Amino acid sequence: MKKILIIFISLILIISNAHADKCYDSDTTPIILDSDKKLGRFFEDQPDVNDDFQVHIVYTLLKDSKDKEGDINGDLEKWVEIADDWILKKTAKANKKSNFNNGEGQKLKWDRREDGKLDITFLRVNRTKKDMKKSKWGSCANVFGRSIINNGMNNPKKIYFNFGDFSYKDWPFSGGFPIFNVFSKHQKKWPLNNKEVGYFILHEVLHAMGGIYTCSSNYIEGHNTKKTKDMMSRSGDGTNHTLDPKNDDYWGHDIESCPDMQDSVYFTPTSNTPFDPFEVTCLSKDKWKVTKHDYIKFEPEEGIGYQCFYARRDVTASWEDELDIYQEN
């Protein structure tokens, strides 16, 4: 599609100037309307069936958004199924070239309930459409991520995928670990479609895992190239969306000092030499327990903790002091 030629996926600057957004408000108390209380809908993360790393889905609406019931009518499940197939094919191709996992593909570890269905939490954000229009990029300093974390969804072993079922001003984006966002309509005119949902989810979840790391050989502005066929390029050319075609940058590479995204604990099958994005982005090396790498001389050029959304002063989790995560200055 023509719009792919000019697509711009934003990696929001999560630490500096976060409060400069004109619509910024520290209040992240969610709205619960009586009409939102429907059969099959959950307002809290449901009990986990295992203690593994997982990607949890949050279905969000704005304060005055129409409830399209995407979390309970199967629509969101379908988007994830389509994305799963796309991601499996893309990772299989990349893994075959890098001789990883016998050339088989990988999928994301989605958080599921005991009945096997996706565990989806409903959250109505305390902002109106008019409020969001005041924001340059449309996120009000990532009110989505702030609302998710500040309202109890802050398990350090989970990445949170915000699916906003409303029209968003810009493109999908990540706020660093553990948040990424995709919407049902982007730039007010481009509805989400089957050809793009897998690309959007994989691109943004890699950002939520801390990628693209500055130690990657072709790193540029949070991505790995400026405008190429690579799906992690700064501005994709719309022709392919190949996953690290030369295996020399962020997937299946041999750069010992830099995280390899195929080793992330959020993919299954999981690497025998995994890394935990939470540890790498939010903790000093002496506190790493899961990450089976040293990553010598690894340090983001923007500064330690830059990719850790938990480091923000306006998000809180009960365990922050105990785990001694990086903190925003």
Answer yes or no: is pLDDT of 16 > 90.
no
pLDDT at res. 153: 98
Answer yes or no: is pLDDT of 240 > 70.
no
At 294-327, the pLDDT tens digits run 887 666 655 567 889 999 999 999 999 999 998 8
pLDDT > 70: what percent of the chain?
A: 90
Mean pLDDT of 21-45: 95
At 186-228, the pLDDT tens digits run 987 899 999 999 999 999 999 999 988 888 888 888 888 887 8
φ/ψ of 255, rounded to 5, equals -90, 100
Give the start-to-end residue ranges of the domains of the chain.
2-274
11: confidence class by pLDDT, cuts 50, 70, 90: very low
Mean pLDDT of 271-278: 95
Q: 111 near 25, Cβ under 8 Å?
A: no
pTM: 0.93
